């Protein structure tokens, strides 16, 4: 319930769909706004003139409403009756609140379609707020200030009707101004997306050029490495690498064979370690531990202690285990010295060869070239990754441009013009 609740505006009939012009208009995206103004300039001008007239009518209704509220404010009933006093207070409170709300209302003299729609909604909200009353307030106002309240209701109703006409006009005949506003937004978005897409395309070309340069650099570095490896000087250095490789191989074989023999005494020796209360673990490579580590005497004493322990009964050894102890002791005393000498000679030869290779300028050049190639490959991978990211982003932009293009063309078609935007 409110100060008025009658005579709602009859809804206007919907506007007929425009007749579509079969002429296809091909327009560059940057000329879109100018072209639309050429096609619909007269409609836009007419809409602006009518909007201004409606705005004047709305402002007049606002002024009339303010005047009717002031007349209501001046109205006063002199009486000490409680009901009359309450009616005066109700009226004063209502007028004060309504004038405050009305004072905040403003309608722009000119503006975009969206700004005018926003102002229209604000007027509607203002009317709704002024019209709002409790049933008790409505009774007081109607009984004691009926003539003045009717004046407020009438001016407020006129404001509502005029504002409704403005709304209907903005949603029908003035749609051309809404389209113009949206076209300007879409045109700016298209320009931005196209510019960004072109920037990305130039960046892609730059990255491809970097990739091509890296390919050339890698090819040149590969040729340098190939020439170095095929040189006579490298052939001499290669013989040193062969010495290292063959020496390491033979040393591994010596170590493996020696460990196989020494490990045959592993079980009886672990029994000795356990008996003596020490750790019963055996070295992974007893050859390196006892022989290369110059601990042959200690190992020989371990063999002798094991045999003595078996003889005294302190440790229990099987006959086969005793034979293994004798066999390993014989190997340590007779065969191993020559084997150790051969191993140390190979180790020294490998060390000398490694020193030659490491200190060789050719080796340093080879290492530098290999590091250069590795660095080029890292950069190559990074550039390809960056290029792929640019391509994917540009695809997304292209899709967005196409979608915005179609949306804008359909928007113009609603006004009877077939449009093809040239990107």
- For residue range 307-327, list pLDDT tens digits in order: 787 787 787 778 888 788 888
Q: Which of 150-154, 156-160, 329-333 has the lowest mean pLDDT?
A: 329-333
> Furthest-apart CA pair in the chain: how many Å?
142
Query: What pLDDT, on a 0 to 100 scale, did the predictor assign at position 384?
Result: 95
Q: What is the pLDDT of residues 62-91, one digit of tens each?
A: 999 999 989 989 988 888 888 888 888 888
Query: What pLDDT, on a 0 to 100 scale, did the predictor assign at position 357?
Result: 65
Query: What pLDDT, on a 0 to 100 scale, did the predictor assign at position 391?
Result: 93
In terms of average pLDDT, the best of 99-103, 133-137, 388-392 is: 388-392
Residue 201 belongs to what H/E stretch? helix 175-229
On the question of pLDDT at 6 being above 50, the answer is no
Q: What is the pLDDT of residues 403-420, one digit of tens each?
A: 999 999 998 888 888 898
Query: What pLDDT, on a 0 to 100 scale, did the predictor assign at position 5?
Result: 43
70-84 burial code (b ≥16 CB/10 A, e <16)? ebbbebeeeeeeeeb
9 vs 84, more confident: 84
DSSP strands (E only) in 58-204: none
Q: In terms of C-beta distances under 8 Å and separation of at least 24 residues, what long-range contacts does 309-318 make, across chains too?
A: 309/272, 309/275, 310/268, 314/275, 315/268, 315/271, 315/272, 315/275, 316/271, 317/268, 317/271
How far is 381 from 388, CA to CA, in rounded Å? 11
DSSP string, 369-395: HHHHHHHHHHHHHHHHHHHHHHHHHHH
Q: Which of 129, 155, 167 is nearest to 63 (CA)?
A: 155
212 vs 16, more confident: 212
Q: What is the pLDDT of residues 188-244, one digit of tens each?
A: 999 999 999 999 999 999 999 999 999 999 999 999 888 888 877 766 666 667 777
User: Which pTM does this prediction carry?
Assistant: 0.54
Two tokens, residue 312: 């005294």
On the question of pLDDT at 11 being above 50, the answer is no
How far is 166 from 248, CA to CA, in rounded Å? 98
Q: What is the pLDDT of residues 222-231, one digit of tens each?
A: 998 888 888 7
Question: 3-state class of 20 per DSSP?
Answer: coil
Q: What is the mean predicted confidence (pLDDT) over 78-107?
A: 87
Rounded mean pLDDT of the chain? Answer: 84
């Amino acid at each position: 319930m409110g100060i008025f609740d009658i005579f709602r505006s009859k809804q206007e009939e919907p506007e007929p769909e425009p007749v579509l012009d079969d002429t296809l208009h091909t327009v560059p995206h940057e000329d879109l706004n100018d072209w639309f103004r050429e096609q619909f300039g007269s409609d836009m001008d007419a809409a602006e003139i009518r909007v201004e007239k409606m705005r004047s009518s709305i402002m007049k209704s606002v002024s009339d409403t303010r005047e009717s509220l002031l007349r209501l404010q001046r109205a006063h009933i002199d009486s000490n009756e409680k009901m009359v006093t309450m009616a005066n207070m109700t009226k004063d409170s209502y007028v004060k609140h309504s004038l405050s709300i009305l004072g905040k209302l403003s309608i722009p003299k000119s503006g975009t379609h969206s700004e005018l729609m926003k102002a229209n909604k604000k007027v509607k909200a203002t009317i709704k707020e002024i019209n709002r009353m409790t049933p008790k307030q409505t009774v007081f106002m109607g009984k004691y200030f009926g003539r003045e309240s009717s004046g407020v209701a009438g001016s407020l109703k006129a404001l509502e009707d005029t504002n409704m006409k403005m709304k209907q006009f903005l949603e029908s005949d003035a749609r051309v101004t809404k389209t113009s506003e949206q076209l300007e937004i879409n045109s700016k978005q298209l320009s931005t997306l196209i510019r960004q897409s072109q920037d990305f395309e130039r960046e892609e070309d730059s990255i491809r050029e970097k990739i091509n340069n890296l390919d050339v650099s890698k090819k040149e570095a590969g040729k340098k490495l190939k020439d170095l490896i095929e040189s006579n000087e490298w052939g001499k250095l290669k013989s040193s690498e062969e010495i290292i490789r063959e020496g390491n191989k033979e040393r591994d074989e010596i170590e493996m064979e020696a460990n196989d023999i020494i490990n045959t005494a592993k079980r009886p020796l672990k029994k000795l370690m356990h008996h003596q209360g020490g750790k019963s673990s055996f070295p992974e490579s007893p050859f390196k531990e006892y022989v290369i580590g110059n601990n042959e005497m200690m190992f020989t004493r371990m063999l002798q202690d094991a045999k003595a322990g078996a003889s005294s009964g302190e440790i229990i050894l099987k006959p086969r285990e005793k034979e293994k102890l004798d066999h390993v002791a014989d190997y340590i005393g007779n065969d191993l010295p020559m084997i150790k000498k051969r191993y140390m000679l190979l180790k020294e030869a490998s060390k000398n060869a490694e020193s030659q290779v490491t200190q060789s300028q050719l080796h340093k050049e080879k290492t530098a070239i290999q590091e250069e190639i590795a660095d080029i490959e890292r950069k190559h991978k990074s550039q390809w990754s960056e290029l792929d990211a640019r391509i994917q982003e540009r695809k997304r932009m292209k899709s967005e441009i196409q979608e915005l293009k179609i949306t804008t063309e359909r928007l113009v078609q609603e006004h009877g013009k077939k449009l093809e935007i040239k990107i």
